[in-house]
Each structure stands twice: as structure tokens, then as C-alpha cells.
Structure 1
Amino acid sequence: MDCPAVYDQIVQDLEQFGHAINMHIALKSALERFNKPGSVSFCHYAVVTNKVHRRCYGQHVGFNMFMDAILLSLTRKVVLPDVEMLVNLGDWPLEQKAFRGTKVPFFSWCGSKQSSDIVMPTYDLTESSLEMMGRVMLDVLSVQGHPGPSWKDKEPVGFWRGRDSREERLHLVRLSRQHPDVINASLTNFFFFREQEKEYGPRVDHVSFFDFFKYKYQVNVDGTVAAYRMPYLLAGNGLVLKQDSEYYEHFYSDLVPMKHYVPFRRNLTDLVEKILWARSNDEEAHHISRAASQFVLDHLLPHHVFCYYTHLLNDFARRLVHAPRATEDMELVPQVQDDFPCQCDDSLHRDEL
């Protein structure tokens, strides 16, 4: 794979833990401090001689299938270094910057300004990269292949659909009702704020993601953490307006405000103003939209995701003080069998070719 020499986000994440990471101490600390089976789940992985082993802790460990899948995929493509790591299976980052003891180097799908977790591409982007063109769900290329109306024919309104996983999403619905000519926002499900469904409902039907791009302005508001739809919004041909947030995905540090997206305040107080700005500056808004689509082609295609994981695992492995090993309490994660295995038959060799 033709990968970049350095990823600044990886360097920043790993520097927090120095160059002598002791996984024996890290696992012991994780079990002592994060032994909360009902609310925290994580897995201890060991890749040894390109085979994947793990032991998981907590009640809800089903999301290990996403980490299993990327590790198994990588071991079919490259020889990974022997490496051990602790993978957080929840959305929220675990280790806090404010903690004064030896920090646990958790790998997580989302980071925050208050946490020290090592950020990986989200499970959603990772799965879409592994299954691209082979699943019904979203991937960045299918979004770019369904751009909706041309820019000039899109409805010049801010659009949003989603569930009630953060209070600001309720505020967005309120804004939509106050400014229906500027914002079209509705909730598709109530779970966190069920008692407020009467005020902010009724819930509406889901809208195909491809149909989001009938609208010129795509509003991105955090859910429980960063909204994992961000790569797909950037891939489309609308203008992304992104809420200021303490949460981030692995690529956010490469995004430039007003080059790839238009930022708005966390409390949404300037969102209407930003949409009206976009209406008044249509050419610049269109330019930002095109730059966002190009960013996806330059940074978020499957080979970029594979490169990021490969870099991260190699860089982390170099910092371990002990040789990684698969302990007896770990289980081997079996390699998947190809649906269409390649049969290499020497009898088909032709000298003239």
C-alpha cells in the first residue's frame, strides 16, 4: 500500500504514552479502573505471527466484530507486527487527560478534547471500507455516485434527520420550526428524551441518505459523540455545516473550517446566520462543497483506512516494552474463508504470456 509517511493524529495520540508502553501494567490498570461490566466493555487483543487473538471484558461485547473484521482483513493483505492493544467497544472515549496516574492506552473509534484515547477510523467507516460495493449500507463512493440534483437545482435549505441522542438535536428541531424557510429538521426516533416527544415530535419516517442531497446545506450535529455520518456528508455534493464539538474522528484534524465545511457554534445560535451566509455567497459555498468531496477522495477511501490502521499498529508496536503474546485465556479469532478463493494452478502457465 502506498501510505503516507506520517499521520499527525497518530503521532499526537501516541506521544501521550511515551516510548515504553507496558501492556501488563495497562491491562491490570484497565481491569482495576474500568471494571464496569454494565457500562464499559473492551477487548484485549494480541496479534502474534499474523494471527488474531482476544479476550473481552464487559456485558456488551458484540462490537468486537468490527475490530475482528479489520484485523483479519489486514492480516490477509499485509504482515502485521506482533502487537497487543486494548480496544474500547463503546462510543465514549474512556481514559481522561485529567487522570494523574499511568494512563491506559485505549484504542477508540472516537476521541475528545478531554480524553487520551488513541483514535481509530470509526467502526462504521471501517465496515463500509471492508464491504464497499458489496452491501446495501452506505459507503463514500455510493454517496458520490448518487449526488442528487445539480447544485443550482438543490433546495437552498439546511437539512437534518436523526434520533434524539443529544439535546442540541432537539434545539435544532425548534430552530426548524422557528425558521422553516431556512432549516428542515425532524427527529426519526425518540429514546433519550422520550418525555419530550410531545413537544418535539411527532417522529418522522427515515429518509434515504441519498435524498439528503436534494438539499443544498447539510447540517451535522453531534449524537452521543461525534456524528459518524460526517464522511458521507463530506462525500456528497452539499455544503456541510458542522457543529463545534469536543468530539472528533481520526481525520478531523485534517479538515479546515471554511475550506471543507462551515462551522457553527455548539449551542446552534449562529446556525441560521451561517445558512443565510451560504445563500448570499453561493459560489464560495459551492467551492467549499467541492473541496469536501475531494477531501474524501484524498483521505477516506478504503486504502486510506487500511493505511491508517497499518501505520497505527506498527507505530504502537514499536513502543511496547514486552514482546506481545497470546495468553491461554485468549481465543483465536478464526480467519474468514473467501467466497471465491483463488486457485493458482501452475498447469495453466503459458510461456508465451
Structure 2
Amino acid sequence: MKILIYLLLLIHIVLAIESEGTCSIKKEQCSARASKYERKENTLLYQIQSSIKAYSPCPKDPDDSCSCHTNVIEKDLAPFQSTGITKKAIETMGTYGTKYQIVDHTLYRQKTCMFPSRCSGIEHFIKPLLKELPNMEMIVNCRDWPQIRRDHGPKGPVLSFSKTNEYLDIMYPAWAFWEGGPAIALHPTGIGRWDKHRNSISMAGKKWPWEEKLGKGFFRGSRTSDERDSLVLLSRKNPDLVDAQYTKNQAWKSLKDTLDAEPASEVTFEDHCKYKYLFNFRGVAASFRLKHLFLCKSLVFHVGSEWNEFFYFAMKPWVHYIPIKSYPTEQELESILIFFKEHDDLAKEIAQRGYKFIWNHLRLTDVQCYWKMLLTEYGKLMRYEVEVDKNLKKII
């Protein structure tokens, strides 16, 4: 019996020694991890604080001058300042979009439009300006993708709603501010009507104040880009941290198109407001959802910086939203979400600034103002007398 007791004591001592050694190793590992996280935390805090310090807010425009965005027009038109816009340039660009004319304050367009609702959304903003605009011809690209590359191919004036720095297209406010946005089950005729969404989503934001929002990331959308995969996979591993699922779109054929899971139901923009952290990804080109997310007064995580619409440039990373590099890893997404969960006041502050910018500087009047300034400056570059093309039809 004594031998058995001695053996048990010996085993206990050995296990204690091993445990102490293991604990020591774990402490060193934990200390190293804590130190690494602390360094990253300090770096993020410094990045945010320095970005906010360097930021000069746009003044609110009581006269609807849309001054926050006008430098984009100057930059986009710069390649045509020396040569102007010639008849030959318009003829060369004819296949890259829909041809429009303004002659004697009357609007004309090609008889057929590849996307009628998109043309309608564009024309909604041009029609009220006709009395103030000079004669001009323009090629307006209604496709998702920009057309004129900097490095090769023909060069000429083509208007597109979004682009990367690889393209020379002239940006105009997307048709989807009024009509012809992406069609989904919740919006079968397209998202559209920015004025209505501003009201309904901001009301939902008030219904879900910051303190009552769910403290997790959120994303719903189709798999138009595999850049979104890491967030969806993180959601499956850690659903308490993020809820990200793929929905079905028109191109859906099998579960492979939703990363081997049943398609999730679509969620209204208003219901996005339940969550503190909202993710925006590019689609085929720039995502139409970005402007809507800010209205929830939630913190927006904007993944990738390549694609732009005209209003992106006035918004600053770390000031209005959180920039995430293209194709982030699950670990990177997890880390940044945990950081902001631990810095809740900072997250709320950035979310509020993002909301205020969109509310004050992306009104429907700002969109109309941008169209006016863009077409006015574009018209000044015309180097020939524009005569009515009999192959076009009169719009108004």
C-alpha cells in the first residue's frame, strides 16, 4: 500500500513539473502574441489619429455647389484640354457607348440603348439642365466596365460611372442614383431612387442606435468576386464575430456559386443597420452598395481601393471608413474586427463621420450639380459645330 502511495506521489510531482514547464512556454508564447498585437494596435491607433488630424472637412454647400467633388471633373477632363474634343474623336469612340447629342437645348440619343433603364436614369439628370447647356456630342458608356485604357487602344472621350487608374474614362454619377441599378429579388427593377433610400435607411439607422446594434460584422451579396470569400469563410468559423453569406444572383447555377452552401436570403439595406460593422466589396466594377451602408451610421469596412465613383475621392480612409486591402485573409479580417470591438468609441466616431459626409455631400442636389458642372466643362472642349444626327431620336 505504501509503495502505491509513493508511486502516486511521484507521478503527481512529475506531472506538476511538466505542467510548470509547459505553462512557462505558453506564457512566453502568450507574451509574444500580446506584444505583437499591442504593436499592431498602436500602429492602427496612430494611423487613425494622424489621418483625422490631417483631414480638412469639406464645408457644407448651402448653394449646392458640390465643391467637394469638382476636382474630379478637372482631373478627368485634363487629357482633353490641349486637343479639345474633335468630331473624329467622337466618331472613333462611337462603339464604346451610347451616343447622345444636345443641340439647341434639345436632347437626342441613339434609337436603341443597350440598357434602357440605365439610359433613363442618365436622362433623368440631363433633362433639367438642357436650357443651360451648350451644344455637344458625347459617348456615354452604360456598361458596368470602363472602356478606354491608358496603356493601349484608342484614346477619346467616353463617360463611364466608375473606373480604376488604368482607364481614361470620364466619370459621371451612376444611373442608379435614380433608376437602373442592380436588379435583385428585393429590387427587381433595380435599386435606384437615392432620394428615397436616403430617407428610409437613415430612419432605420435611428431605429438602431450604436449602443443597440449587434457587435458583429455583416455582409450579404452574391459572389461576383472571390475577393469576398475570406469574409464568408471567417463567418462560418466564427459566426459570433461576423455574419457573411452569399446570396443567389442571375448567374447562379449550383452551390459552387455560393461557396458550397445554400444561398442566403437577401437582406434590405434598412436591416443592415442592425449591425455595427458593414463590409463593402467591389462587384464587377465599383459596388453600388457603398453609399447606402454609410446611412446606417454603422462602421463601414471598404475592401480594395482600385475602383472609384466620382464621390469616393472626397472620402478619406480611417476618417470616414476603414480601408481593407484587396483579398484580405481571414486572420486579417478577424484582427481588424477584434480591434474595433475593443475600441468601440473610436468605431462609433468614424461611423458618425462617414454618415455625416454622405448625408451632407451626396444629396440628390449634389448629384444634379455634378452633372451640370461636368457637362458644362465638357461642352467647353467641343472643337466643332454639332449638327443634329438624323440617325438619333429626340428624347426631349
1:64 matched to 2:122: no
- 1:177, distance to aligned residue in structure 2 (A): 0.9
- Please state how far the C-alpha of 1:204 moved relative to its aligned partner: 1.4
Are residues 1:330 and 2:392 paired? yes
Q: Distance in 2 between matches of 1:167 and 1:186?
A: 13
1:275-316 alpha-carbon deviations (Å, 9 max, x no partner): 111111111111111101110122100111111000000011
Tell me the secondary structure at the aligned position of residue 100 of structure 2: strand
Q: Equivalent residue for 1:319?
A: 381
Question: Which residue pairs with 1:171 in the alignment?
Answer: 230
Q: Distance in 2 between matches of 1:135 and 1:27?
A: 31
Specify the alignment match of 2:348 in structure 1: 286
Structure 1 residue 111 corresponds to structure 2 residue 170: no
Per the alignment, do residues 51 and 250 of structure 1 end up closer, same or farther by CA in structure 2, a change over 3 Å counting? same
Q: Match for 1:141 among 185, 199, 204?
A: 199
Give the 3 Å change call, closer, same or farther, for CA 197–316 of structure 1 in structure 2: closer
Matched, 1:51 2:106: yes
Using the alignment, how far apart are the partners of 1:138 and 1:201 within structure 2? 33
Cα distance change, pair 12–211 in 1 and its aligned pair in 2 (3 A):
same
Task: Specify which of 268, 289, 292 is matched with residue 328 of structure 2.
Answer: 268
Percent identity of paired positions between Structure 1 and Structure 2: 26
3-state DSSP of counterpart to 2:127: helix
Checking the alignment, whether the CA contact within 8 Å between 1:163 and 1:190 is kept in structure 2 is: yes
Deviation per CA, 1:203-234: give whole Å up to 9, x if none: 11111210101000010011111111111112
Q: Distance in 2 between matches of 1:112 and 1:56?
A: 30
CA distance in 1, matches of 2:140, 2:318: 34
| Match for residue 83 of structure 2 among 11, 17, 20 | 20
Separation (CA, whole Å) in 1 of partners of 2:175 and 2:231: 26
Moved over 6 A (4+): 134-137
Aligned residue type for 1:95? I
Aligned Cα root-mean-square deviation (Å) = 2.5
* Match for residue 239 of structure 1 among 294, 299, 304: 299
Q: Which has the higher strand share?
A: 1
TM-score normalized by the length of structure 1: 0.83
User: 1:87 & 1:253 partners in 2: Cα distance?
Assistant: 22
- Code of the residue aligned with 2:132 in structure 1: it is V
Deviating more after overlay: 84-93 vs 161-170: 161-170
In the alignment, what sits opposite 1:155?
214
CA pair 280-121 structure 1, distance change in 2 beyond 3 A: same
1:143 aligned partner, one-letter code:
I
**3-state SS in 1 of match to 2:64:** coil
Q: 1:295 to 1:198 in 2, by over 3 A?
A: closer
The one-character-per-residue Cα deviations of 1:253-282 (angstroms, maximum 9, x if unpaired) are 111101000011111222222211111111
What displacement does 1:106 show?
A: 0.7
- TM superposition shift of 1:137: 8.9
Aligned length: 319
User: Greater helix percent: which structure?
Assistant: 2
Q: Deviations over 1:72-102 (max 9, x none)?
A: 2333xx522222211001011010011265x
Gaps of 5+ in 1: 35-40, 129-133, 335-353
Counterpart CA distance in 2 for 1:235 and 1:48 is 39
Asked if the contact 1:19/1:319 (under 8 Å) is kept, the reply is no
* CA separation of 1:30 and 1:100: change in aligned 2, threshold 3 A: closer
- Cα distance 1:138–1:163, how it changes in 2: closer, same or farther (>3 A)? farther
Q: 1:126 to 1:312 in 2, by over 3 A?
A: farther
Does the aligned pair in 2 maintain the 1:215–1:238 contact within 8 Å? yes
- C-alpha contact (below 8 Å) 2:269/2:293 kept by paired residues: no
Q: What secondary structure is seen at the aligned counterpart in 1 of 2:199?
A: helix
Task: Pick closer, same or farther for the CA change 1:203–1:104 going to 2, 3 Å.
Answer: same
Q: Which has the larger radius of gyration?
A: 2
Equivalent residue, structure 1, for 2:132? 79
